[in-house]
Amino acid sequence: MLLRVFILGSAILWTAGCKNKEAGEHVTLKQVTLPGGEQIMAEVMMRQSDVMSGMMFRNSLAPDRGLLFIHNRPGRYTYWMRNVKVPLDIIWMDKAKKIVEISANTPPCLDPDPVKCPQYGGKVDSRFVLELAAGRAAAYGLAIGQSLSF
């Protein structure tokens, strides 16, 4: 019984720390290990509403953080930077978590006309997409063909 209380208490404390302070919502974090052994913590985006909003309206993304989008099945997924305030590196991975496409230093689109915001990626089938702060993909030496683990 005491062990159950300890486990439950630990889980509650851990979940309390997993809060997106800007959005005010609880988020799931997943450790992502890069090819060079570096590790980042990524917010997991699986619900359609999370996938649609992503980095919109956020003021920053820490160098050791990311957003990990998990799609239900492989497909050609394009991303845009509408209402995103900071430039990002966007990394597409296939079902084996191998990098298939990278959009480095992708600029924000703050144009009030959404039609003027370009779309990025979607040239190759992917299942996972990782967004990092601009310049981090180059800093980590990420390249097409490398694999990530999470």
pLDDT digits (tens, 9 = 90+) for 80-126: 999 999 999 999 999 999 999 999 999 999 889 999 999 999 999 99
Burial of residue 143 (number of CB atoms within 10 Å: 0-12, 13-18, 19+) = exposed
What's the pTM?
Answer: 0.81
Q: Find, among 57, 56, 53, 54, the residue nearest to 43 by Cα.
A: 54
- Higher per-residue pLDDT: 18 or 73: 73
Q: So what's the pLDDT on residue 54?
A: 86
pLDDT tier for residue 25 given thresholds of 50, 70 and 90: low
Mean pLDDT (whole number) for 17-46: 79
Token digits of residue 147: 């694999």
Task: Decide if pLDDT at 51 tops 90.
Answer: no
Q: What confidence tens digit (pLDDT) does each residue in 80-90 have?
A: 999 999 999 99
